[in-house]
């Protein structure tokens, strides 16, 4: 245990944030690189969109499955393994001679991503005092936020001034820095979770409220990606922005995502379902407004709607995660961590679903219609959330009536 005391928790959290920055950057880097990938491999825009959807699918599978399989592995060893796989996946993508190899590299990196999310959260919580765990996890997630604001636009810019492959090399270099730092600054004797209780999976998926919450997460979060996956070609081809200007717009989008995520956390602290109803309404409306701006063909309106979309795109994330935790505390208190992991998987199912639907719309209709498709997906999540909210109110009313009846008796 003495080795743990020599390492400052702040330094460990900083390392996790660096790793999170690298992993967060690679998740959406291909969004900015899509036009370049299309030209390089002579493929359609819809096919290039697989770099987003298959990555998200890999995270979906990797998060719960690999977490269960690696429960007995030393946490420091596991973190080093994660970063090695992550680096290997990105280097394979960088030097891919064919589009199929690029996809394989993306899937390899995505498996590391899924396992990192569950592992790093536990490490962050274990290196600090119990009273500081929430702040420690928030510090680790700062890396993901910075990746949205800086990493993706910077990676896109590097690809534009050189070659798209250099963007993946850039991310690999950050991963190598994170790997070296992890070797020195992640404690070697952290608690090991051990074998997961597989019966928890049955308890979770036989609960209708939890299953509904996972569907709401997938649709409410994923609807944005029907349009966001193709945001670069939309900005260039539909609004006439140059490639360099698109980088600046992506930075503005990332800043708004960070603001929206922070506001979403504050709005969701009390009355989470009513807050989600409002957020989904605003998100569906912003996607619809983007579609209208494409029809009009006005660049200024297009810029405004893109920035507005950034504000509402991830605003629902804290509320969706909090809602699942609240349901797990009520119905499956032994399986809160596992339920949370499955909700992380649901987020990425949403990305996969949204980007695949966007690909089909782009392939068979027009990329102009992707915001409309996204708006319809979010509208379905909105309807489900309203239903869940009314069910909660009804159940609460029945509980109060029953308690009053007992008191009168």
pLDDT in tens, 215-241: 999 999 999 999 999 999 999 999 999
Which is higher by pLDDT, 194 or 257?
Answer: 257
Tell which wins on pLDDT, 407 or 6: 6
**Percentage with pLDDT > 70 across the chain:** 92
The pLDDT value recorded for residue 83 is: 96
Same domain as 149, residue 249: no
Point out the domain boundary residue: 169, 196, 223: 196
> What local confidence, expressed as pLDDT, does residue 406 receive?
54
pLDDT-derived band at 3, boundaries 50, 70, 90: very low
Whether residues 185 and 334 share a domain: the answer is: no
For residues 46 and 187, membership in a common domain is answered with yes
b/e map of 135-148 (b: 16 or more CB within 10 Å)? ebbebbbbbbbbbb
- Widest pairwise Cα distance in the chain: 79
pLDDT of residue 121: 75
Higher-scoring residue by pLDDT: 69, 299: 299
- Which of residues 150, 172, 196 is at a domain's end? 196
Same domain, 69 and 177: yes
| Whether the predicted pLDDT of 183 surpasses 80 | yes
**Percent helix, percent strand, percent coil in the chain, to nearest 5:** 85, 0, 15
* Residue range 351-356: mean pLDDT, rounded: 92
Among left, alpha and beta (phi > 0; psi -120 to 50; other), residue 271 is left
Instruction: Determine the Cα–Cα distance for residues 26 and 387; give it in Å rounded to an integer.
Output: 36
Tell the residue number behind the tokens 């330094």, with chain if given: 11
Tell me: do 186 and 223 sit in the same domain: no
Same domain for 181 and 204, yes or no, is no
Q: What is the pLDDT of residue 122?
A: 76
Residues 247 and 396 in one domain: yes
Number of other CB atoms surrounding residue 306 within 10 Å? 26
**Which of 128, 163, 196 is at the close of a domain?**
196
What pLDDT score does 135 carry? 67
Cα separation, 267 vs 274, in Å, equals 10
Residues 299-353 pLDDT 10s: 999 999 999 999 999 889 888 878 888 898 899 887 776 787 788 889 889 998 9
Note the pLDDT of residue 400. 45
Q: What pLDDT was estimated at residue 43?
A: 95
Residue 221 and residue 101 share a domain: no
Nearest-angstrom CA–CA distance, 102 and 37: 10
- Give residue 402's pLDDT: 44
> Rounded distance, CA 66 to CA 56, Å?
15
Q: What is the mean pLDDT of residues 252-263?
A: 86
**How does residue 177 score in pLDDT terms, banded at 50, 70 and 90?**
very high
pLDDT-based confidence at 258, cuts 50/70/90?
confident
Same domain for 170 and 206, yes or no, is no
Residues 156 and 289 in one domain: no
**Domain containing residue 397: CATH number:** 1.20.1250.20
Output 270 or 211, whichever has higher pLDDT. Answer: 211
d(CA 251, CA 239): 17
Res 398 pLDDT > 50: no
Digit-coded pLDDT (tens) for 45-63: 989 989 988 998 898 888 7
Same domain? 246 vs 305? yes
What pLDDT, on a 0 to 100 scale, did the predictor assign at position 71?
A: 78
Number of structural domains (the chain) is 2
| Structural domain that includes position 99 | 1-196
Q: What is the pLDDT of residue 334?
A: 79
Q: Are residues 150 and 10 in the same domain?
A: yes
């Amino acid at each position: 245990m003495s080795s743990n005391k020599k390492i400052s928790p702040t330094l460990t959290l900083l390392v996790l944030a660096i790793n999170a920055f690298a992993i967060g950057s690679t998740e959406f880097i291909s969004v900015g690189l899509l036009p370049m990938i299309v030209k390089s491999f002579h493929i359609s825009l819809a096919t290039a969109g697989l770099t987003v959807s298959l990555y998200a699918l890999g995270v979906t599978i990797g998060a719960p499955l690999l977490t269960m399989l690696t429960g007995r592995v030393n946490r420091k060893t596991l973190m080093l393994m994660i970063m090695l796989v992550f680096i290997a996946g990105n280097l394979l993508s960088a030097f891919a001679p064919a589009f199929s190899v690029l996809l394989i590299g993306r899937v390899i990196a995505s498996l590391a991503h899924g396992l990192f999310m569950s592992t790093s959260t536990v490490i962050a919580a274990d290196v600090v005092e119990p009273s500081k765990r929430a702040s420690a996890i928030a510090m680790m997630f700062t890396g993901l936020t910075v990746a949205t604001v800086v990493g993706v636009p910077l990676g896109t810019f590097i690809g534009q001034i050189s070659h798209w492959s250099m963007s993946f090399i850039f991310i690999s270099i950050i991963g190598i820095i994170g790997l070296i730092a992890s070797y020195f600054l992640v404690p070697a004797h952290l608690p090991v979770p051990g074998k997961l209780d597989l019966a928890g999976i049955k308890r979770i998926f036989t609960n209708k409220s939890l299953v509904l919450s996972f569907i709401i997460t997938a649709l409410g979060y994923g609807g944005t990606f029907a349009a966001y996956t193709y945001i670069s070609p939309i900005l260039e081809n539909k609004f006439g922005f140059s490639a360099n200007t698109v980088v600046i717009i992506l930075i503005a989008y990332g800043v708004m995502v960070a603001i929206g995520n922070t506001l979403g956390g504050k709005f969701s602290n009390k009355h989470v379902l009513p807050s989600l109803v409002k957020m989904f309404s605003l998100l569906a409306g912003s996607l619809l407004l983007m579609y209208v701006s494409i029809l009009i063909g006005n660049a200024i309106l297009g810029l405004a709607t893109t920035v507005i979309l950034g504000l509402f795109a991830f605003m629902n994330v804290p509320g969706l995660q909090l809602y699942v935790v609240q349901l797990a505390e009520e119905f499956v208190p032994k399986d809160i961590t596992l339920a949370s992991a499955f909700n992380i998987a649901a987020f990425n199912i949403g990305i996969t679903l949204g980007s695949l639907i966007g690909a089909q719309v782009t392939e068979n209709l027009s990329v102009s219609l992707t915001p409309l498709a996204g708006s319809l997906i979010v509208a379905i999540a909105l309807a489900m959330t309203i239903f869940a909210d009314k069910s909660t109110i009804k159940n609460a009313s029945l509980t109060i009536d029953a308690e009053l009846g007992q008191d009168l008796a």
